[in-house]
Structure 1
Amino acid sequence: MTNLGELAREELPVRSPSLAEQAYATLKRWILSGQLDAETVMSENDLARRLSISRSPLREAIRKLQDEGLLAASGPKGFGIPPISLDLIDQVYGVRLALESEAAAHATPIPQDELAKMRQFMEEVRPEVMAGDAQRFTDVDFEFHDLFVRNCGNPLLISYIERLRGNIQRILVYSGQLEEHSVRSFEEHMDILEAMEAQDPARIEKTVRQHITGVRDRLHDSLLGTAE
């Protein structure tokens, strides 16, 4: 008779993603990459045909994307992507400020080898950012913030931060086009990195607050300038 110890040593089969999970992943990728325009109204039928799936798994995927704020109802049977607006930035960055500053205040100790690796990367991309190419710097934004987020000791807080990252990613794509913003954001990241290297929770929280508030204010200025 097989005992539990033997069962635990057996390799469990890898479960294939369900249709709903596949639809969710595909739609999220389209939204974050900009392949779906924020001004386009989509129906369940349109999306079902495009994804070649029935409406039942599609509805499950849509509900999950709505929970993350990446899709919103538009009309009686339609869905749309919330545009990058002042309201969206205020909502996303207001929540980000509250959650990440709390994580930063409790983020010690942070492993020195992870900090050293990030320091090396930041020095490597500094000339690129100053020359107007912030792509590689922007690509590691979440990895950078995870240095303090994943060391905050609060799994529930981490899960809420992760749920917010879809809309943060959309905003990062927009903000990456603003050269002056990218330079300031890089400098703010360096301030946070120095605080983390000092293993000073109060200083980490302060620099994270300054950074997130600075990003929000610069995005405000950009959108208001575009509207004029």
Structure 2
Amino acid sequence: MRASERAYATLRREILDWELPPGTVLGEIEQSERLGVSRTPLRSALAALTAEGLVGAQSGRGLVVTPVSVDDARELFEVRDALEQKAARLAARSADRELFEGLAAEFADAARLIEDEDPARHAYYDLVARFDDALDASAANGFLVASLKGVRTHLTRIRRLAIDNPDRLRDAAAEHRLIAEAIAAGDEELAAAATRVHLHRSLANILAAAETITDHARQHGYDRPLQEREQK
């Protein structure tokens, strides 16, 4: 792996996991030394993260991790709802039944992953990522999948904060299980309806947890991580 790719992968993971919370200044000298790369590959990594919307320029501060707003979350879920319902319908038409039956079984046993000692719940989120990958592959629509990947990147930062709510994660695992079972059964209507319920509950949880998210970020030195978008 090239130095720029390694720097990109590390910074991206740290941003999505909130190890680098919104507002973190990404100074070239500091980050180059921390990541053990020269400034040229670091600049390449930062350019890629900027293209994804995870990093942006802020007057007087240089490049920083971009903020997350409540309004952004609502808008992202509006797009995600339409895309994922369609993806679930397409997957139910032609998906590998055994693959989704297996995923459903894993979600049924997800409690042990949620109760894992890893505070970031990487094993659980890896399972969700495998489900997303299987859904995307089964939908077999490149334009739809590309749009979904962009939306999910930004939602991951918000969703990761659900680690503080294991009850919600257990409910989400049950919702994923129902979606996987519907796809395995080839039931387009149930797959779409289960997806809609899951996304509705996920957004409701995010909005209800806005204050918790703010408290979490303040512990990391950033005062306004999840806020109403400022009116221009």
TM normalised by structure 1 equals 0.77
Report the more deviating stretch, 196-205 or 88-97.
Answer: 88-97
- 1:3 is matched with which residue? none
Deviations 1:69-99 (A, max 9, x none): 2212222451222344413422432332232
- 1:156 is matched with which residue? 143
CA distance in 2, matches of 1:113, 1:67: 37
Report the more deviating stretch, 60-69 or 95-104.
Answer: 95-104
The reply to whether residue 178 of structure 1 matches residue 162 of structure 2 is no
CA distance in 1, matches of 2:55, 2:101: 38
Asked whether the equivalents of residues 88 and 135 of structure 2 are also in contact (C-alpha less than 8 Å), the reply is yes
Q: 1:68 is aligned with what amino acid?
A: E
- 1:139 is matched with which residue? 126
Equivalent runs, 1:49-68 vs 2, <5 Å: 49-68=33-52
Q: 2:106 is aligned with what amino acid?
A: F
- 1:207 is matched with which residue? 194
Equivalent runs, 1:109-128 vs 2, <5 Å: 109-126=94-111
Q: Which one of 23, 28, 32 corresponds to residue 16 of structure 2?
A: 32
* Higher relative contact order, chain-length normalized (CA < 8 Å, sep 6+): 2
The reply to whether residue 221 of structure 1 matches residue 208 of structure 2 is yes
SS at match of 2:54: coil
TM normalised by structure 2 equals 0.76
Q: 1:152 is aligned with what amino acid?
A: A
Q: CA deviation at 1:139?
A: 3.2
Q: Percent identity?
A: 27
Q: CA deviation at 1:130?
A: 9.0
Equivalent runs, 1:35-114 vs 2, <5 Å: 35-76=19-60, 78-107=62-91, 108-114=93-99
CA distance in 2, matches of 1:87, 1:44: 31
CA distance in 2, matches of 1:194, 1:137: 18
Q: CA deviation at 1:227?
A: 6.7
Asked whether the equivalents of residues 108 and 173 of structure 2 are also in contact (C-alpha less than 8 Å), the reply is no
Q: CA deviation at 1:19?
A: 3.0
- CA separation of 1:94 and 1:64: change in aligned 2, threshold 3 A: farther
Q: CA deviation at 1:201?
A: 1.9
CA distance in 1, matches of 2:58, 2:81: 29
- CA separation of 1:119 and 1:80: change in aligned 2, threshold 3 A: same
The structure with more radius of gyration: 1
Q: CA deviation at 1:220?
A: 0.3
**What residue ranges of structure 2 are gaps of 5+ in the alignment?**
216-232
Report the more deviating stretch, 27-36 or 212-221.
Answer: 27-36
Alignment size in residue pairs: 212
CA distance in 2, matches of 1:115, 1:78: 45
Q: 2:109 is aligned with what amino acid?
A: E
- CA separation of 1:53 and 1:126: change in aligned 2, threshold 3 A: closer
Moved over 6 A (4+): 225-228
- 1:198 is matched with which residue? 185
